[in-house]
Amino acid sequence: MPKLEFRLLTDSLLSDPYSIDEYIKSGGFAALKKTSAMKSEDVISEISKAKLLGRGGAAYPGGKKWEHLLHIKETPKYIVCNADEGEPGTFKDRFIMEKMPFKLLEGIIAAGFVFKAKAGYIYVRGEYRKIQKHLVEAIKSIHKAGFLGANILGTGYDFDIHVISGAGAYVCGENSALLNSTEGKVGRPRIKPPHLAEVGLFLKPTLVNNVESFANIPHILHAGGDAFLEAGHPDSGGTKLICLSGHCKNRGVFEIPLGKVSLRDAIFNGELGGGMANGKKLKFFHLGGQSGPIGGPAQLDTVYSYTDLRKAGLAVGSGAIVIMDESVPILEYLKGVTEFFIHESCGKCVPCREGNRQLLNYLQMLSTPGAATTGDLNTLRSLVRAMTDASFCGLGQTAATALSSAWKLFKSEFEANVRPGGGTL
Ligand SMILES: Cc1cc2nc3c(=O)[nH]c(=O)nc-3n(C[C@H](O)[C@H](O)[C@H](O)COP(=O)(O)O)c2cc1C
Ligand code: SF4
């Protein structure tokens, strides 16, 4: 494994992350000054060259999203930062907001300049109350330093950023539900199309990006898109913050270069996960949050990049890696995942609202000797397909991803208690 010396986000963290003086001394806002003098097309061209894939989970190409919004003529435009961070096992946006808030804010202001946006909003997870307060303070200090407010840097451009508290629901991290919630409506997903770039916040053209996506913008603009690409994988530049939790020795947020580190390195290398905490063997790892796939030891040599993980049936998702040892029964783990989705389903559509309850029923039957039949297993698999294909938003569409990936790895545990026969439900 290469030495982890190419950190972009976590290099030279400030001794006081909320000191704007320290940030400016360390080179902060140089990228913004550069951006303010550049043509919007040129800024976006650097982001496209960087191949920055959205760090919120869906891995949408940043350059393409920005370009789409640039070509929309309607105004005003809005910039929205998704800091809802509701995905279990994910705490890297919190890390960014606590340890490098100005990088995030500089990225958002740079986006403001590119689109000459009317205002920016950061939708911050409701439980992160302290962070919300600190962000408000940081925004005030940026105002004083002249990088926010009226006539920024003497350019004649006015821009401000508002901090919105999240509603405490996982679904509000879905970008259209997030916009509804920001507008003061119930946080439920909207039908798409129209695309949010066209009909977004207050029904106006809007850019929605994740915290980590925005925090990377100053690096891209400072060093150039080619340098950012070089630091990562040829299909997706830069680094990724991963969140290690569960049964590994070292838990927390770590920065790794995309495409240069394997899952084995991430979990077992002493600079990263450090191996299993309790002398037990690794049984499985759950990638990208509860909505992501589960992998097993045979996949450990997969390179951690969007492309390689996808080819192996895995995913980067939010960057979460939950590590579980051999003591964890897969059906019990999946029951926990499904209970989460039952709790978080917004109830708008039947495949998700009812589907998750039925999934839990089946998991309970499968873990009770003789309660489920081979016919039930077939029905369970049809249910998974129906939920994935027919749910209204990403929550229901991905709620059974963990189950269907685990089925491939631990078929014998699913079948252990099953008796022959037709479906019982
Ligand atoms: C149910 C659900 C919850 C989501 N939660 C988050 C979240 O907490 N934070 C986030 O950035 N993206 C979340 N997303 C993804 C967003 O909808 C969207 O793709 C993302 O904010 C776009 O930013 P990016 O392109 O920079 O990744 C969620 C999606 C779904 C379907
Ligand atoms: S899939 Fe349907 S019920 Fe589930 S969260 Fe989305 S809109 Fe709500």
- For residue 50, the model assigns a pLDDT of 98
Q: Rounded to whole angstroms, how far apart are CA atoms 190 and 183?
A: 13
Give residue-wise pLDDT tens across range 265-275: 999 999 999 99
Q: Rounded to whole angstroms, how far apart are CA atoms 96 and 318?
A: 14
Q: Is 67 helix (H, G, I), strand (E, B) or coil?
A: helix
Is residue 382 packed enough to be buried (19+ CB in 10 Å), middle (13-18) or exposed (0-12)?
A: exposed
Sheet-wide strand order for 78-83: 161-165, 119-124, 78-83, 206-210
- One-letter amino acid identity for 330? I
- For residue 7, the model assigns a pLDDT of 83
Specify the ligand 2 atom closest to the Cα of 396.
1
CA atoms within 13 A on the CB side of 395: 32
Torsions phi, psi of 280, nearest 5? -85, 165
Task: Place 4 in a pLDDT band, splitting at 50, 70 and 90.
Answer: low
Is residue 70 packed enough to be buried (19+ CB in 10 Å), middle (13-18) or exposed (0-12)?
A: middle
The answer to whether the beta carbons of residues 138 and 68 sit under 8 Å apart is no
- One-letter amino acid identity for 181? S
Q: Rounded to whole angstroms, how far apart are CA atoms 381 and 401?
A: 11
Q: Rounded to whole angstroms, how far apart are CA atoms 44 and 80?
A: 17
Ligand 2 pocket list (CB less than 6 A)? 171, 189, 345-349, 352-353, 391-393, 395-396
Mean pLDDT across the stretch 310-314? 98
Q: Rounded to whole angstroms, how far apart are CA atoms 292 and 173?
A: 15
What is the reported pTM? Answer: 0.97
Q: Rounded to whole angstroms, how far apart are CA atoms 88 and 90?
A: 5
Specify the ligand 1 atom closest to the Cα of 173.
5
Mean pLDDT, the chain, rounded, equals 96
Residue 315 has pLDDT above 60, yes or no: yes
Q: Rounded to whole angstroms, how far apart are CA atoms 58 and 50?
A: 17
Task: Place 25 in a pLDDT band, splitting at 50, 70 and 90.
Answer: very high
Q: Rounded to whole angstroms, how far apart are CA atoms 5 and 421?
A: 58
- What is the whole-number distance in angstroms between the Cα of residue 347 and the centre of ligand 1? 19
To test ligand 1's pocket by mutation, which of 164, 174, 216 has the most ligand atoms within 8 angstroms of CB? 174
Specify the ligand 1 atom closest to the Cα of 177.
17
CA–chain centroid gap for 110, Å, is 21
- For residue 423, the model assigns a pLDDT of 75
